[in-house]
Each structure stands twice: as C-alpha cells, then as structure tokens.
Chains A and B, each alone.
Chain A
C-alpha cells in the first residue's frame, strides 16, 4: 500500500476539479458532470484493487 497512490488520486482530483470549474464557467454544466463522472470512474479503477487487497489483508490478520 504505497503513499503515492494518494497523490495520483489527488492529481486526478485536481485535474477534474479544474476542468469542472472551466466547463461550469463556460456554461457547459452537462460536460462538467461528464468530466466528474469520468474522473470518478478512473479513480475507482485505480483503487478498487486496493480495496480488495485491503479486505483480504483484514481477513488474514484477524482470522476471519
């Protein structure tokens, strides 16, 4: 579980936040929503594997 995963997610987050603000200011709310959705999917694909590893680690640590 490495720390730069957080900063990768933060980078995607900042990128999506900036794009979101740009699109909203230029009157394209739907595209801003799509951008947020795309960012959500990208980040979920990055961390879904970590969540699975985490629960496996919890089961083995606590003997479930």
Chain B
C-alpha cells in the first residue's frame, strides 16, 4: 500500500508540473489536463474504498449490527468525496461560485442521507 501511495504522490507532482507548463501556454488545456488527472486519481481511489467498505461490512456482520446503519454513512462518504473533488476542480478553473454551490449541495445531500439515522435515534430515545 505504501508503494501505491509513493507512486501516486510522484504522479501527482509530475502531473502538476505538466499542468503548470500547459497552463502557461493555454489555460483551457491546462484545466482539461487537471480534470483528467482528477479522474485518474479518483479512479485509483475508488477500488481502495471498496476494499475498506467490504471489510467494514464484515466487521459489522460479525458484531451483529445491521447493515442499514452503515448505508447512510457510506453515502455521506461518497457525497463528501465527490463534492470535495469537484469543488476543488471548479476552484482551480476559477469558478468560485460553482465550487461553493457544489459544496453547499453536498452538505444538503449528506443531511438528507443522515435523516433516517436521526429518526432512529429519536425513536430509540423515545422508547426508553
């Protein structure tokens, strides 16, 4: 895992330099290269997250805790990752309004995902 991390760090540094060079000549193409790098980075990240999530699921099964408790947490994680990456890309491209819009919508979506958990907690408290 450590090698993957080192390889990815080296790749990000190399690509950032490349994007800086391209961006000087043509800003549009620099942004497209940054978008592509973001896609590749996310494409590398997702399988690692799947591994963690399946291990987490096994642990919950062993502990006898229902999977429906984990689902909102996983969705919020996905929303956070997506909003963070897309917001950063928009910020790089100079669209602060788009970045803020994505982050706000991410917060709202995460809140909606968590509401069922909140209801269960209140229900639990009420039944004591």
Contact = CB atoms under 8 A, between A and B. Distances in A.
Interface in A9-64: 9-10, 12-14, 16-18, 20-21, 36, 39-40, 43-44, 46-47, 50-51, 53-54, 57-58, 61-64
A61 B78 contact: yes
Max chain A CB contacts within 10 Å: which of B24, B35, B50, B77? Answer: B35
A48 to B, nearest CB: 10
Interface in B42-91: 42-44, 46, 49-50, 53, 71, 74-75, 77-79, 81-82
A62 B77 CA distance: 8
A61 B75 CA distance: 9
A4 to B, nearest CB: 9
B118 interface: no
Max chain A CB contacts within 10 Å: which of B37, B43, B77? Answer: B43
B104 to A, nearest CB: 19
B49 A9 contact: no
Max chain A CB contacts within 10 Å: which of B22, B36, B81? Answer: B36
A6 B29 contact: no
Please tell me the size bucket of the interface on B: 20 to 34
What 8 pairs between A and B have smallest CB-CB spacing? A1-B43, A17-B25, A62-B78, A13-B29, A17-B26, A13-B22, A9-B36, A43-B32
Interface of A: 1-3, 5-7, 9-10, 12-14, 16-18, 20-21, 36, 39-40, 43-44, 46-47, 50-51, 53-54, 57-58, 61-64
14 contacts: A5-B39, A5-B40, A7-B18, A10-B18, A10-B19, A13-B25, A14-B25, A16-B25, A39-B29, A43-B32, A58-B81, A61-B53, A64-B75, A64-B78
